[in-house]
Amino acid sequence: MELWVFVSILAAGFQTLRFMLQKQLTQVALSAGGATFARFLYAAPLAAIIAFLYMRLRGAVLPDTGALFWLYVPLGALTQILATVCVVLLFKRRNFAVGITFKKTEVILTVLVGLLILGEGVSATGLGAIVIGLTGVLVLSDMPDIKGGLMARLINPSAGIGLTSGVFFGICAVCYRAASLELASEDPLLRAGLTLTAVAWTQLIGLGLWLIWREPGEVGRVTGAWRKTSLVGLTSTAGSLCWFVAFTEQNAAYVQAVGQVELIMSLAVSVLVFGERPTKREIIGLVLVALPVVWLVIYL
């Protein structure tokens, strides 16, 4: 198994744990912004410590950054914050597994963003796998309990929030790959660690200032729930580091597609942790979204 495939699957596992913890945070009186801020409060210093220790152990020095590094970092940081807020809001509307699946529209959108920003396309095989995954997303977005025809059921607030998160996640994934490629180093772990550190601190400072301005007292509530928020930060750091290594090594669209294994993990969390029961239609949708993972691992 290639490195980028392994770390993508590992990242999906950490991300499932992080979203599970963030959903629980919304149940302890934290806003969507507060639950999102929780991941950065501890992730930023942890990322810096990890990058520093890695550089000391390897005897490495800070590499030169390309001119676009400091453009891609804040753009990726902002879109990831917006995407995560959308996902937390989505958890309040539908169950955990389906909320994660709506987010997976990022895969097809990453193809488009990657083509526009980096000029990176995908093969016919890769595109076929991604289209199958998108079909699964559409199956899941069809809410039969909403009155009206097919379009009325597909075009609903949950689908809108999910698609919006997919757009933002697609942009941030490509920006992170672009930023890491701007670092003058052949070491993928060093490039990933330094890019993650720059992004995490940008998010911590930016969202922290926003909460102080717009949601007074929310930062204090986040720190007060430190037993859970610290776990969010730990899983966030581990998952983000894995994602950044994968983005450094491979086309962001392929990384996101393999990361759909997260859907299987989220279904297990939905049933075992939150006691939710998916419908037959939701299971079919999950299977359709998960199939491209196997396809890409075997044929890519």
Domain spans of the chain? 3-299
pLDDT top residue among 144 and 43 = 43
Quote the DSSP letter at residue 184.
-
Residue 79 has pLDDT above 60, yes or no: yes
* Mean pLDDT of the 119-130 span: 83
Q: How many CA atoms lie within 13 A of 81 on its CB side?
A: 23
Residue 148 has pLDDT above 60, yes or no: no
Identify the three-state secondary structure at position 65: strand
pLDDT top residue among 230 and 35 = 230
Residue 291: which H helix or E strand, with range? helix 280-299
Residue 145 has pLDDT above 60, yes or no: no
- Contact partners, residue 62, CB within 8 Å, separation at least 6: 55, 194
Q: Are 256 and 103 in contact (CB under 8 A)?
A: no
pLDDT top residue among 91 and 247 = 247
Provide, rounded to the nearest whole percent, the portion of the chain with pLDDT above 90: 31
- 203-242 core/surface letters (b: 16 or more CB in 10 A; e: else): bbebbbeebeeebeebbebbeebeebbbbbbbbbbbbbbb
The pLDDT, as a whole number, for residue 26 is: 60
pLDDT top residue among 154 and 112 = 112
Structure tokens at 256: 């996101």
* Mean pLDDT of the 16-39 span: 74
The pLDDT, as a whole number, for residue 99 is: 64
Dist CA 295 CA 61 (whole Å): 39
pLDDT top residue among 289 and 77 = 77
How many residues in the chain?
300
Provide, rounded to the nearest whole percent, the portion of the chain with pLDDT above 70: 84
pLDDT top residue among 179 and 146 = 179
Looking at every residue in the chain, the average pLDDT score rounds to: 82
Residue 40 has pLDDT above 60, yes or no: yes
CA distances to 22, 24, 46, 86, 203 from 223, in Å: 14, 15, 16, 22, 16
- Contact partners, residue 257, CB within 8 Å, separation at least 6: 107, 126, 129, 130, 133, 292, 293, 296
What is this structure's pTM? 0.81
**pLDDT band, residue 229 (cuts 50/70/90):** confident
* Mean pLDDT of the 264-293 span: 77
